[in-house]
Amino acid sequence: MLAPPDARFAICAARFNDQIVQRLLDGALQGFARFGVQEDRVSVVRVPGAWELPLACQDLCKTGRFAAVVALGAVIRGETPHFDYVAGQAATGLARVALDTGIPLIFGVLTTDTLEHAEARAGGKDGNKGIDAAAAAVEMVNLQRAIRGPLP
């Protein structure tokens, strides 16, 4: 599966839990390269944390410059209910942005119980979910173009 050569992609990555998110970001960039996306066709922006992803992704989607946007973050359960609010609202917000804009918005936010679980999914024994997110973005762009015709 190759990306359309004219397609542009954006990655919005949280800085919170950066030791995990940076590995997801590296994976996503490798994934896009693997699927034929030129480096200059991928824009990367950073936000403070997963809570801020929906607004920034909405702004990226509304520019009309990107065929798909990938949201990357890591929310790791702690001793307070903070995890439930952040993970749930980030997911809800990102889903709403995708539906409201019609732009594929890939949920590459890890929501794990432990740091070890996050590490396993960010280049560890369970692979790199950043690569998977890039693959999903390319697949959705190809699908949308097959259904709707050329997009940005």
Residue of 15, 65, 82, 96 marked active site: 82
With 0-12 / 13-18 / 19 or more C-beta atoms within 10 angstroms meaning exposed / middle / buried, residue 49 is middle
82 is catalytic: yes
- Which CA distances in Å does 100 have to 14, 59, 65, 97? 22, 12, 16, 5
Encoded amino acid at 152, one letter? P
- Which residues belong to the active site? 82
